[in-house]
Amino acid sequence: MKQILQNLKNGQTYVEDVPAPGSSAGTVLIQTLNTLISIGTEKMAVDFGRSSIIGKIRKQPDKVRMVLNKVKTDGIIATYESVQAKLEQPLPLGYCNVGIVLKSSNQHSFKVGERVASNGAHAEIVGVSPNLCCKIPDNVSDQQAAFTVMGAIALQGVRLARPTLGETFVVMGLGLVGLLTVQLLRASGCKVIAIDFDEKKLEQAAQYQAKTINAAKVSDVVQAILHANNGEECDGILMTLSTDKDEPIHNAAQVCRKRGRIILVGVTGLKLSRADFYEKEISFQVSCSYGPGRYDPVYEEKGNDYPKPFVRWTSQRNMQAFLDMVSLGKIVVDDLISHVFSVDEAAQAYELVAKGQTTLGVLLKFSESETKVSKSQTISYAVDLSKASAIQVGVIGVGNYAQRILLPYFKQQATKMHTVCSFGGVSAAHAAKKFGFRFSTSSAEEVITSSEINSVVVATRHNTHASYVLKCLEAGKHVFVEKPFALRLDEVDAIESYYARMLASKKTVPLLTVGFNRRFSPFSQKMKSLLDREPAPKTLIMTINAGFIPADHWTQDLEIGGGRLVGEACHFIDLARFFIGRKIINFSVNALPNKQLSQSDCATISLTFEDGSQATIHYLANGHKSFAKERIEVFCAGKILQLDNFRALKGYGWPGFKKMWSFTPDKGQKNLVEAFCKAVLGKEDAPIPLDEVIEVAKTTIQIGQSLC
């Protein structure tokens, strides 16, 4: 199918053929009829992409600080590669979509064939959250409905302003959201003063019975506003502009009455004057997108709605309310359409937007004929695999880690890159071209059932790992799965039972390798060779400066990510198991309380091994970013080994060894991939013994359960 993407490196906007997205119980699948380009948000994205490196730095200073911190811990080369990989990722554009429902779960109220408005991207087929999707009234056209999300943004700003009949409001900035805000305020019985620099926009606002002020033609904006309101201060200001200057917020405070309201819907400089707000007790609030629920994973991804008695106006209800107002003729959008392009003319449309040659709505029209829309979930590419090895690789899940770390190393092994899968399709298409895959798809079944693929890389979210692993093993495929390979003990038991059955029947069993790469680091291998010389019990201290991750991130969700201890600390439980070389016979865990999480991400894990050795893992999210992420110390028989961030290893008291150093961190990913490929070819044993994989998984899960 066709989808509009942007290259963040150079700002190029292009139409790409990508696999149609997969469907699930948590999405509504929609065939697009038309979409609306957001002149504000999408123009900013295009401008950012087209700006130089210096320009990008100036526009995102927060990201610069993150990069500098990464340089301190990971080095320049690793940081550069990480930034480049991020910029190479294609950015799907668009969030104002109108289409026809192709597929919807029975639990949703949408029926196949219904017209709906959603926040879907500029693509022939989109999969959206049911809570960000609403039905279109019969008397509202497809083009009118394309303004739904824009209308919801404007409506949320108006709701926060709490207008009452007869009040006077100022609307600063008359883009699409600003002009819709003017109409919504007028429909609420308010007087409106509209400000902009564009005479055409002001003429449009005047048609909606707003008093207008051209900011380019007055010497004092504040006095002009007060004059337009008969010398009185205004009840509220809605800022729907886009600027980095501080002057607008100062002007807004100057014209706002005592205890008035200022709502920021757009973007402006926020160097506030305390005097402006203190003396008048002005309320200032930033409006978040379409309304309550936006950016909440529970609302968007899990589809859980907020109860109406407690949250009257959610994102979806705002969208529906706006459509109802269009249906009743209270809001007019037809005169906001300035251009209509076909999807194949998208580059031309975005060039118009980038040059600022349009000030109103630009629509993209998609094919209305169902037969012309490709619903294929798989796309083939002309790739020569004749010189590749006997390993045919399929990949399920191509996030940043897979594309930046795993796939380059698999490519280096001269494997046949057969099929790459991502649920949305875009990242799969990008990876296919970058790494030379024969097929890209949004269907994991295409990978699992392929008779040609003999090895599968699973790099999806944690809660899907065990299911994919078992399906691939039962299909007779070798599996390389990112950690953890399971979140529940019953999942571990199912995989363990599979191997028991296969071994009992004396059948050849596929290989299972978990992405515990740290034991394959040259530093870990050196430490292991030294430690194996000493039979005495050992004491390990691992200090992991894991860093803060918000409570709403998917890794913190026990059902999806398993929590950080199960999802990430498993790395270090495995590494301790590797260093000691004996079974774990006991564990304990103590965690700092965290009211935001059901399981803490700051904990101390203690492990005891068969030979009496002990390991203490301090997994901490409350440290400073400039400190090393991973420090490992081993005390044994009067000797010490100290490893910092897999870049520098020091030995104290070890004959013949003092230090080992690397310019960039080497956490063993390349060596692990190489070991997996050799094992698939029968040249080496399994990289990690199966009993250790099972042991570490069970220990990790039990540690996580002890905190719940």
pLDDT at 107: 66
pLDDT at 597: 77
Overall CATH class of domain 378-514:
alpha beta
What fold, for 150-286? Answer: Rossmann fold (3.40.50)
Do 644 and 659 touch, CB atoms closer than 8 A?
no
pLDDT at 240: 96
- Supply the CATH classification number for the domain 517-667+682-707: 3.30.360.10
Q: Are strands 361-365 and 337-342 parallel, antiparallel or unpaired?
A: parallel
- CA pseudo-torsion sign 187, 193, 198, 202: positive
Do 398 and 460 touch, CB atoms closer than 8 A?
no
How far the first Cα of the chain sits from its last, in Å, is 44
Superfamily of domain 2-147+333-366: Medium-chain alcohol dehydrogenases, catalytic domain (3.90.180.10)
What are the backbone angles phi and psi of residue 199, rounded to the nearest 5°? -65, -35
The reply to whether domains 150-286 and 378-514 share a CATH topology is yes
pLDDT at 618: 97
Q: At what angle do helices 690-707 and 489-504 cross, to 10 degrees?
A: 160
pLDDT at 369: 61
What are the pLDDT digits (tens) for 560-582?
999 999 999 999 999 999 999 99
Can you tell me the distance from the alpha carbon of 604 to that of 482, in angstroms, rounded to the nearest whole number?
24
Tokens of 616: 């203490």
pLDDT at 49: 67
E strand or H helix at 672: helix 669-680
pLDDT at 218: 95
Question: What is the Cα gyration radius of the chain?
Answer: 29
For residue 129, the tally of other CB atoms under 10 A from its CB is 20
Buried (b) or exposed (e) across 585-623, using 16+ Cβ within 10 A? eebebebeebeebebbbbbebebbbeeebbbebbbbbeb
Do 218 and 187 touch, CB atoms closer than 8 A?
no
What parts of the chain have a pLDDT lower than 50? 371
Q: What is the DSSP string of 114-129?
A: -EEEE---SBSEEEE-
pLDDT at 371: 45
Q: Is 99 helix (H, G, I), strand (E, B) or coil?
A: strand
Can you tell me the distance from the alpha carbon of 470 to that of 483, in angstroms, rounded to the nearest whole number?
15
> What pTM, to 2 d.p., does this model score?
0.88
Residue ranges of domains in the chain: 2-147+333-366, 150-286, 378-514, 517-667+682-707
